[in-house]
Amino acid sequence: MSFSETLKRLRLEKGLTQGDLAKYSGLKQSSIAMYETGKRNPKIDVLERLADFFNVDIDYLIGKTDKTTKVIVAPPEPQKNIETPPAPKEDREHKHLQNLLSDPHLRRILESSGQLNESSLQEVQNFIDFQLGKKKQ
């Protein structure tokens, strides 16, 4: 089975649309569509990301083998009196940014901000501050 067929089958098995897979994997929906139609081949980092997402080997994903080793990781047993270290700051910030970018309103604001000059950006910030002040009252 080819990569494009395997990718589509794995996506459908999970009940995902191309848009869902794009959202969860951080890829563009148009890229997923091109991978599934065989019009484009992914780079190795994308293959790794997809293999991790679907919990399959890259060899299985690209059709080199019909068998895969799915890795099932059981959560570790909780240990008493041991504090779990906080996630690295970079991981927390990355997750926070992903959550922000998943909001279509915030995404539009961020994408539009590049077209504004400094004065206009300051006006937007003033408006946000005003709205937040109203909310507190």
Tens digits of residue pLDDT in 37-96: 999 999 999 999 898 888 888 888 888 888 776 655 444 454 455 455 555 666 777 777
Read off the pLDDT of each residue in 111-131 and give the average, rounded to a whole number. Answer: 81
Read off the pLDDT of each residue in 97-102 and give the average, rounded to a whole number. Answer: 74
Per the CB < 8 A criterion, the answer to whether 61 and 3 are in contact is: yes
Amino acid 32: pLDDT? 94
Q: Does the pLDDT value for residue 4 go beyond 70?
A: yes
Regarding predicted confidence, which is higher, 134 or 45? 45
Tokens describing residue 86: 């906080």
Regarding predicted confidence, which is higher, 83 or 115? 115
Closest by CA to 32, choosing from 11, 56, 2, 53, is 11
Amino acid 76: pLDDT? 47
Q: Does the pLDDT value for residue 29 go beyond 90?
A: yes
Supply angle C-alpha 33, 37, 42, rounded to 5.
70
Amino acid 111: pLDDT? 74
Per the CB < 8 A criterion, the answer to whether 116 and 124 are in contact is: yes
How far is it, in rounded angstroms, from Cα 33 to Cα 37?
A: 6
Torsion over CA: 64, 40, 19, 98 (sign): positive
Read off the pLDDT of each residue in 18-37 and give the average, rounded to a whole number. Answer: 91
Q: Does the pLDDT value for residue 19 go beyond 50?
A: yes
Read off the pLDDT of each residue in 96-100 and give the average, rounded to a whole number. Answer: 73
Tokens describing residue 77: 């047993």
Amino acid 65: pLDDT? 83
Read off the pLDDT of each residue in 20-49 and give the average, rounded to a whole number. Answer: 91
